[in-house]
Amino acid sequence: MSTTAPSAAILAIGSEMLGPLRQDTNSLWLTGRLEEIGIPVVRKAVVGDDPASIADELAHAGRFARYVFTTGGLGPTADDVTVAAVAAWLGATLSRNEAFLEKMRARFARRGFEMPACNAKQADFIVGARVLENPRGTAPGFWAERGGVEVVVLPGVPSEMREIMEESVLPVLRERGGGVVWRRRVLRIAGMGESAVEELVAPVYARWKDDPVTILASPGEVQLHLAVRGAPDSADARLASMEADFRSVLGPRVFGEDAEDLPRVVGRRLRERGWTVALAESCTGGSIAAMLTDVPGSSDYFLGAVVSYANAAKEGFLGVEPETIRRFGAVSPETALAMAQGARDRFGADVAASVTGIAGPDGGTPEKPVGTVHFGLATKDGAALTKRRLFGGDRAVVRRAASVQALELLRRFLSGEES
């Protein structure tokens, strides 16, 4: 490691995570929170509920990292051996905490149950370790030290693990860190390919080559991850000018930052205008409506959608003229626009968007290959526009990219960038 900051290792404990079905995800959250306070994660491991493997990994990880975070294995069953294994590695004993046991019994009693005998072991505390209270669950965490390596023992239940970290661990580490932090910003762009974004930001990219910038692409969306490390104030300032620099070339192509997703941004734009929206979806099959209505409170502006898979549905529900479909085809700008206008009129919406295309694997022709998608948009004051895109990838990718593109078309229109 090029950094001299103390680093961390993460050990997820649980035999189920060594099978093909369950994955450790706690480490992603932990990594993010530790990075923010300047502690890089240098290794991650998963071992089964096996005392020898746990002890071995603690010893091994301790050679690379100042902090070792364990998650999982604090439950009441015979499988759960983390506390005993950590104690053994520390050379510490366990001691049953009677006051804690009493509290556990009382909690069960309040819910009308008798505490199962096996739960008692969750009151076995590691002698000499700091006990980390678990407000959301039964099993507490522990924080102990051996030979300069600190072990933080956390539950595997994500909400419990997070609360203990936020309440009892991160504040201490932040204090110790003397104020070295990571600051991050994600800039999100839709409706552009990865290489087009890359080309656009290349000159800026070169100016900030000392700070890590990562470009990540998913169907329909490209994200730029900016990161800066330093004292809080200077890191904030540097990140701000870095962000401004990238935004100066990306302009309004950035639809949101960090966790701000497109359905939320579209919803906010609609609220700002006091507008309602309706959709007419063909190849996206209801996905755009599902995305928009994922947002709590979306019923304030979302009136509804017609998923018009069959041509008869395009005619019956949206008033698309059979002649339009016959002359131009179901996948055409003309049909897309008629669908949008029909949705606008029949839902009585201020704006409506439509999608019709060929998601595949079948249905493509030489003139309209799989991945061809037409978009339409119509407003109550008569604005109308269409757009055509050709997406690569399989059915799922085309559907996803088309859904994102439709939302992006709405966003740009509502922001006054597209007309």
Site residues for a copy of itself, 306-365, by CB under 8 A, read 306-310, 312-313, 316-317, 346-348, 360-363
Question: CA-based angle 171:175:177, to the nearest 5?
Answer: 115
Q: Which is nearer to a copy of itself, 284 or 372 (CB)?
A: 284
Cβ at position 127, least distance to a copy of itself in Å? 29
**Phi, psi at residue 212, to the nearest 5°?**
-70, 125
Q: Which is nearer to a copy of itself, 101 or 186 (CB)?
A: 186
* Residue 303, C-beta contacts closer than 8 angstroms, at least 6 positions apart: 276, 277, 278, 347, 348, 349
- 383 counts as binding a copy of itself under rule CB under 8 A: no
Spatial separation of the C-alpha atoms in residues 412 and 419, rounded to whole Å: 8
| Of positions 44, 238, 374, 412, contacts a copy of itself by CB under 8 A | 44
* Binding footprint of a copy of itself, residue count (CB under 8 A): 72
Spatial separation of the C-alpha atoms in residues 58 and 13, rounded to whole Å: 11
Ranges within 223-242 binding a copy of itself (CB under 8 A): 225
| Of positions 47, 154, 222, 373, contacts a copy of itself by CB under 8 A | 47
Stretch 260-279: interaction string toward a copy of itself, x if CB under 8 A: -------------------x
* Residue 120, C-beta contacts closer than 8 angstroms, at least 6 positions apart: 96, 101, 104
Q: Which is nearer to a copy of itself, 125 or 246 (CB)?
A: 246
Q: Which is nearer to a copy of itself, 29 or 100 (CB)?
A: 29
What number of residues does the chain have? Answer: 419
Per CB under 8 A, the segment of 24-32, 102-110, 116-124, 192-200 that binds a copy of itself is 24-32
Ranges within 4-23 binding a copy of itself (CB under 8 A): 16-21, 23
Cβ at position 192, least distance to a copy of itself in Å? 20
**Phi, psi at residue 395, to the nearest 5°?**
-50, -45
Determine which helix (DSSP H) or strand (DSSP E) holds 410, and give its type and residue range: helix 395-414
Cis peptide before 361 (omega within 30 of 0): yes
Cβ at position 269, least distance to a copy of itself in Å? 18
- 32 counts as binding a copy of itself under rule CB under 8 A: yes
Cβ at position 395, least distance to a copy of itself in Å? 6
Spatial separation of the C-alpha atoms in residues 412 and 253, rounded to whole Å: 9
| Of positions 97, 234, 293, 415, contacts a copy of itself by CB under 8 A | 293
- 46 counts as binding a copy of itself under rule CB under 8 A: yes
- 185 counts as binding a copy of itself under rule CB under 8 A: no
| Of positions 5, 6, 55, 64, contacts a copy of itself by CB under 8 A | 64
- 69 counts as binding a copy of itself under rule CB under 8 A: no
Q: Are 235 and 229 in contact (CB under 8 A)?
A: yes
Where are the alpha helices (H) located in 50-169, listed in sequence order? 51-61, 82-90, 98-110, 158-164
In sign, the C-alpha dihedral spanning 142, 62, 80, 158 is positive
Cβ at position 355, least distance to a copy of itself in Å? 12
- 60 counts as binding a copy of itself under rule CB under 8 A: yes
Residue 354 forms beta bridges with which residues? 280, 376
Tokens of 53: 């493997």
Cβ at position 354, least distance to a copy of itself in Å? 13
Per CB under 8 A, the segment of 121-129, 159-167, 244-252, 302-310 that binds a copy of itself is 302-310
Spatial separation of the C-alpha atoms in residues 338 and 336, rounded to whole Å: 6
Pairing of strands 149-154, 141-146: antiparallel
Nearest to 45 by CA among 63, 29, 67, 60: 60
Cβ at position 293, least distance to a copy of itself in Å? 3
Q: How many CB atoms lie within 10 A of CB 213?
A: 16
Per CB under 8 A, the segment of 34-42, 172-180, 193-201, 235-243 that binds a copy of itself is 34-42
